[in-house]
Structure 1
Amino acid sequence: MPSPQQARAQASAITSGKIAPEVEAAPTSQLRTLFDRPRLSPGQRRIAQYLIEHITEAAFLSITDLAERVGVSQPSVTRFAAAVGFSGYPALREKLQSIALGTLAGPAEEDRANELQAAVDAEIENLENLRRDFADPDRVIAIGRELSASTPLTVLGLRISASLAEYFAYAARRIHPDVRLVTLGGTVAYDALLQSREAGGTWVLAFSLPRHAQETLTAVRVARGAGLRVALITDLALGPVADEADITFATGTGSRLVFDSYAAPGVMAAALLQAMTDADPERTQARLESYEQISDQHQFFLRD
């Protein structure tokens, strides 16, 4: 690996035209591809963002200096290097320096998208993939019918996945007579799942999004052991939780920012809700009309 002085000398030679740079993707695009790992922790994504935004300087920093600039520990930087596929920080820094030299030489194509625009672009790609999956809606329709018929219907989402589970359960209660939401793990989840099965429930809709909780895997196994079937919304078609589920709807999450975004899983959840409404249109209509009457009577919502 060249020293910082040698690397800067090489950069000077490139910018002066003595060395012809290789034609490759814009440096920020290379870094985003390198760091686009959904299982990076928020702290690791902070490191990634700093490197993207300060590549020409950060590529020549020692591990101590980089940790200090980002505000993390040196072991955190080492773990980050391993998480993005390198044997350690020295190997990562060597790669960063090769990208930084390309930055100083001038990229073959200008990368105009800032980090927020890149995050939106990634989510658009996730939605495009989901749109292609919906070209054959039979699987969604079939599971919507099963979820609609399960009374009670249990919705499971732990840790970061709780927000989507709450959204689904809130909407599902408008069209289903008995929806039970589980957002706490451990024995609390076990009790809820076992009681749901004893009450006649047949299905659980589970959400498992990065970073995947060990508690979710355990809860899904408990559900299966109790005789419940599991439909799973997640980001990966393969993995321990998906292996335990009866059916998996895998759709990408946005991992370009410090915390994930869930455009495609949100649409997937809404699609299953739509399938539930279509499965029993008479019950759906009766419950929605009843809810509207109650909401008007008690003024749940602001009037336009």
Structure 2
Amino acid sequence: MPSGQQARAQASAITSGQQSSDNEGAPTSRLLALFDGHRLSPAQRRIAQYMVDHLPEAAFLSITDLAERVGVSQPSVTRFASALGFSGFPALREALHPIALSAVAGSPDTPEEIRRNELQAAIDTEIENLENLRRLLGDPNRVIELGRDLARSVPLTVLGLRISVSLAEYFAYAARRIHPDVRLVTRGGSVAFDALLQSREAGGTWVLAFSMPRYAEETLAAIRDARSTGLRVALITDQPLGPFVDEVDVALSASTGSRLVFDSYAAPGVLSAAVLQAMADADPERTQARLEGYEQVAEQHHFFHEG
């Protein structure tokens, strides 16, 4: 059986019983059309199968990430793209983007049941991530101890660059309600170094950093800069091992969801809230006083709509 037909046969078994008469314009059919008629090696068929199984995620992975997830070398991915007639992996990925986006966005050529199943699968992944985090927090001592350390650090610096900015902003916004001096750093390079140095000179002892895929080199540089100033570094990331973890004093991990075009952060968000809770519990009198003070200011200045 030619390799393209093999890929088609394999795909039919994993698309929830989808019949061969499926709409030719559907994302899975469009993806299979790229493979059809090409003689693929076993390693290349593994790459093709991964793309079928993980559409639309695979369309937005780097060549390094795709090779790692499939379990092949980067040259194998490059040869796969060439075997399909593309000049290289970037050209193949560009061709995959509209197929992936149609699967997620619900374009007219995407059957409703496929859209629903893809989104439900993404939610199922997040549920599994939360279950894993729940097991991790069965022993809450590391989170409690970290909360105490962060609460005592005045000022407290929160670092998040690139995709990690949103988590850092959430944490800093909430932490300011219960902590007297929270400094948010969302730019790398010399700007980050200046902020970290000023925090240390002002008496700060800790930095809480966020690092989510894809991991920014400037985050690693900022972590090293923080250590060089004498600050201790805590890290919230999605992997329990790796170069970032090796550079910090405390690392807490919670997996990200990777079934959609862009990662989702249910578990890291809950882990962040748990650390905030530990900070609040570390100094309950200060926490209560600051929350009451904030409520008075919010009411006085009408911060929130009372509908």
Superposed pair shares fold, TM > 0.5: yes
Selected match of 1:115 from 118, 135, 139:
118
Are residues 1:57 and 2:44 paired?
no
**What is residue 240 of structure 1 aligned with on the other side?**
243
1:237 maps to a residue whose letter is P
Are residues 1:27 and 2:5 paired?
no
Instruction: Give distance in 2, aligned partners of 1:61 and 1:89.
Output: 18
**What is residue 103 of structure 1 aligned with on the other side?**
none
Are residues 1:193 and 2:196 paired?
yes
1:88 maps to a residue whose letter is V
Instruction: Give distance in 1, aligned partners of 2:192 and 2:13.
Output: 47
1:2 maps to a residue whose letter is P
2:303 maps to a residue whose letter is F
Aligned residues: 246
**What is residue 77 of structure 2 aligned with on the other side?**
88
Give yes or no for contact 1:78–1:88 (8 Å, CA) kept in 2. yes
Q: Which runs of 5+ in 2 are unaligned?
A: 17-25, 40-47, 49-54, 56-60, 85-112
Instruction: Give distance in 2, aligned partners of 1:122 and 1:2.
Output: 34
Give yes or no for contact 1:254–1:262 (8 Å, CA) kept in 2. yes
Q: Deviations over 1:223-243 (max 9, x none)?
A: 011111111000111111111
2:14 maps to a residue whose letter is P
**What is residue 2 of structure 1 aligned with on the other side?**
2
TM-score after normalising by structure 1: 0.72
**What is residue 263 of structure 1 aligned with on the other side?**
266
**What is residue 227 of structure 1 aligned with on the other side?**
230
Are residues 1:149 and 2:152 paired?
yes
Higher relative contact order (CA 8 A, sep 6+): 1
Selected match of 2:254 from 225, 244, 251:
251
Q: Deviations over 1:269-302 (max 9, x none)?
A: 0000000000000000000000000000000000
1:133-212 equivalences in 2 (<5 Å): 133-212=136-215
Aligned to 1:114, the other structure's residue is in SS state helix
Are residues 1:128 and 2:119 paired?
no
Aligned to 2:135, the other structure's residue is in SS state helix
**What is residue 47 of structure 1 aligned with on the other side?**
none
2:33 maps to a residue whose letter is E
Using a 3 Å threshold, how does the CA distance of structure 1 residues 53 and 249 change in structure 2: closer, same or farther?
farther
Aligned to 1:181, the other structure's residue is in SS state strand
1:85 is displaced (CA, Å) by 3.6
Instruction: Give distance in 1, aligned partners of 2:115 and 2:192.
Output: 47
Q: Which runs of 5+ in 1 are unaligned?
A: 15-20, 30-49, 71-75, 95-109
1:60 is displaced (CA, Å) by 1.0
Using a 3 Å threshold, how does the CA distance of structure 1 residues 221 and 124 change in structure 2: closer, same or farther?
same
Instruction: Give distance in 2, aligned partners of 1:234 and 1:80.
Output: 17
Instruction: Give distance in 2, aligned partners of 1:85 and 1:244.
Output: 27
Instruction: Give distance in 2, aligned partners of 1:137 and 1:77.
Output: 35
**What is residue 38 of structure 1 aligned with on the other side?**
none
TM-score after normalising by structure 2: 0.71
Q: Deviations over 1:161-191 (max 9, x none)?
A: 0000000000000000000000000000000
